[in-house]
Amino acid sequence: MNNQIHSQISRRSALQMMAGGAAALGAVGAGSGRAAAAADSPAPLKGNIRHSVSRWCYGKLSLDDLCRAAKRIGIESIELLGADEWPVVRKHGLTCAMCNGPDKINYGFNRIEHHETLLKNFGTAIPEIARNGFPNVICFSGNRRGLGDEQGIENCVAGLKRLMPIAEKHKVTVILELLNSKVNHADYQADHTAWGVEVCKRVGSERLKLLYDIYHMQIMEGDIIRTIQESHPYIGHYHTGGNPGRNEIDDTQEIYYPAVMRAIVATGYKGFVGQEFVPDRDPLTSLEAAIRICDV
């Protein structure tokens, strides 16, 4: 710009031009900021399903990082945690929808000789779970090792009936997990829904429920939606997982999760659904995709 042209521009018009340019840049910047914020903040979930995620599937992430990602996505809970991990989820304003218990998959209530140890250890764990404000603790039947199913039911009922006064006092629900014995947990006794329902009926307490693992029960018995409709009063927690392989819960596998989730919602269920599949891509991308699939 030469001096003649420069002299023709008043100070006032120059300031107006500068202000207009700044406003335009500000609008562009604000738009970019909003776009970035939108990209970082997913659309809100519908709220019909309370979402949780199993810690063990995301072992490559620190628990802090998993908690931060869960909050961003809209997940309320990180589950299957021990007492040493509870402070982390509480720090992030999350809960633990399913606490680890003191038994093991192959060492559970179906053996009378296990009862005293289990009752002592659950009796210590349940008050601590209650003090932290968590709702559930997992438990297992144990392996058959030649034990008949009826005897296994009787033994579990005998032990769990003794545990119920503690669970009822502290308002913590003991959740008996159903697992497949065909692929992953050979010889596990609580491998059919009807077996678990019979245990719950005989114990007769609202503080004993089943963990209905959709992946495991698809392998053992199929008929997922009908089973949920018929057995939902005895189910206190759900797990997901793609079959075959406990992989992503998308259209690469045989379970159509939106229909299953709608069936769960239709029962009036107010508990948690825990994602428990093994991601085969970026884990947080997989997790968010699974939550969206289940957000019916």
State if pTM tops 0.75.
Answer: yes
Give the pLDDT band of residue 42 (cuts 50, 70, 90).
Answer: confident
Q: Is the pLDDT of residue 236 over 60?
A: yes
Q: Any idea which of 8-22, 30-44, 119-133, 217-231 has the lowest mean pLDDT?
A: 8-22
186-210 residue pLDDT tens: 999 999 999 999 999 999 999 999 9
State how far the Cα of 191 lies from the Cα of 178, in Å rounded to an integer.
5
**Token pair in block for residue 111:** 């053996």
pLDDT, residue 128, reads: 98
Q: Is the pLDDT of residue 17 over 60?
A: no
Mean pLDDT of 234-260: 96
